Amino acid sequence: MESRLEIADVAQEFVTFLTQGSPPNIQAEAARYVLGLTGSETGRSLLASQKGLLQALAKLLEAPPGAAAGAVGDAWRTLVNLCAEPSIHGSLLAALPGLPSQLLARALAPNWPWAGEAAAALANLSREAGAFRELLEDGGLESASDKTYQEPGLARLVTALTTPGYNPHAPLHYLASLLSNLSQLPEARDFLLDPNRHLIQRLLPLIHCPDSAVRRMGVVGTLRNCCFEHRSHEWLLGPQVELLTFLLMPLAGPEEFSEDEMDRLPIDLQYLPPEKEREPDADIRKMLIETIMLLTATAPGRKLVKDQGAYLVLRELHNWERDPNVRLACEKLIQVLIGDEPEAGMENLLEVSVPPDVEQRLQQLDQQEQQQLQQEREEALQSPSRLDGLGPS
């Protein structure tokens, strides 16, 4: 009991030190110490239990630009680290009601110097369903309009993410992670996939963003989530969006094709320069393949993917790929493209009901595959060798 009282007394002292009226050097030292506590799980849990201290930090976050910059910056970094700990999200949101909406407002403020930290904290926090559900319901992402920008909040998020120089003082890469998390909700996907809003088309160029793997990962994750809406597949694959071209481009290399094969590819994928490089991040390559796989879940989607020469790009990728997880994903997609069509009643793979015993068996097979991949990875580290690619069967 005494230790708890001591902790409470120390926390109260830090509340005093962190207030905006404290001397700048004392305030900065206190903020630096609190930030250091977030370096361990124990420290993060301790901070999450101190409501008064959290509220003092929240007030410091709102300090005007230029005021106690060091202390404010450390306060923002503290919040990023706290939001990265899922086990304390409940305590954090209980102490700071409305935190997701507050963070969103700062992340989307065009000149706020800590907008990047606000976006990162919100991306961490929105991994939990409750937090991003609050954004949709209270933060107005789905329907409410900002009086200054006159557009719904979710559209503003896309605008901030896709507008060069939107905030010249802060990178906003983690807005893409936030968007990916939000797109797990059906209502967010419906909003993004509204053909009249043209939001998906604005996101597509960011698949190739050279400045940030975080931004590319978030955008591809958003697109993958949207592809669970199979009723939008034909629109996504059609001339209004041309999603497949954008998904295949990072997977394509400088390989040459015969004239007949070249004619099967979309125009933008023909005659790529010899210096063309593939997406360097293996996780993003895997996610791109998974997104294309989702687009093949329906018969019309499979036909459109096949007709646009996806197999040719995937064949060359498989020859080049060294990551076993990406290779496996590539092989599964190739089998879909070159295999027979599903039997009657199973044309839409996203709507097929899998019996429990079959699902359990599939999970066992997946575990066996993962174990085999791990063994192959260990063997490859000891004796690397080139693996041949797949060909049509």
Q: Decide if 258 contacts 315 (C-beta within 8 A).
A: no
- Determine the Cα–Cα distance for residues 76 and 74; give it in Å rounded to an integer: 5
- What does the pLDDT look like over 303-356, one tens digit per residue? 999 999 999 999 999 999 999 999 999 999 999 998 766 544 444 544 544 446
Task: Flag residues of the chain having pLDDT under 70.
Answer: 1-12, 20, 65-69, 129-152, 340-393
Cross-strand partners of 152: 145
- Determine the Cα–Cα distance for residues 90 and 316; give it in Å rounded to an integer: 47
- What does the pLDDT look like over 145-162, one tens digit per residue? 344 445 667 899 999 999
Q: How many residues can be counted in the chain?
A: 393
- Determine the Cα–Cα distance for residues 339 and 25; give it in Å rounded to an integer: 68
Nearest to 317 by CA among 237, 309, 203: 309
CATH topology for the 1-20+52-60+70-213 domain? Leucine-rich Repeat Variant (1.25.10)
- Determine the Cα–Cα distance for residues 371 and 225; give it in Å rounded to an integer: 27
- Provide the residue ranges of all domains of the chain, joining segments of one domain with +: 1-20+52-60+70-213, 227-349+362-393
- Determine the Cα–Cα distance for residues 132 and 207; give it in Å rounded to an integer: 23
Q: What's the pTM value of the predicted model, to 2 decimals?
A: 0.82
SS (H, E, C) the chain: CHHHHHHHHHHHHHHHHHCCCCCHHHHHHHHHHHHHHCCCHHHHHHHHCCHHHHHHHHHHHCCCCCCCHHHHHHHHHHHHHHHCCHHHHHHHHHHCCCHHHHHHHHHCCCCCCCHHHHHHHHHHHCCCHHHHHHHHHCCCCCCCECCCCCCEHHHHHHHHHHCCCCCCCCCCCHHHHHHHHHCCCHHHHHHHCCCCCCHHHHHHHHHHCCCCHHHHHHHHHHHHHHCCCHHHHHHHHCCCCCHHHHHHHHHCCCCCCCHHHHHHCCHHHCCCCCCCCCCCCHHHHHHHHHHHHHHCCCHHHHHHHHHCCHHHHHHHHHHHCCCHHHHHHHHHHHHHHHCCCCCCCCCCCCCCCCCHHHHHHHHHHHHHHHHHHHHHHHHHHHCCCCCCCCCCC
The CA-to-CA distance between both ends of the chain, in Å, stands at: 71
pLDDT for the residue numbered 69: 67
Amino acid at 63: A
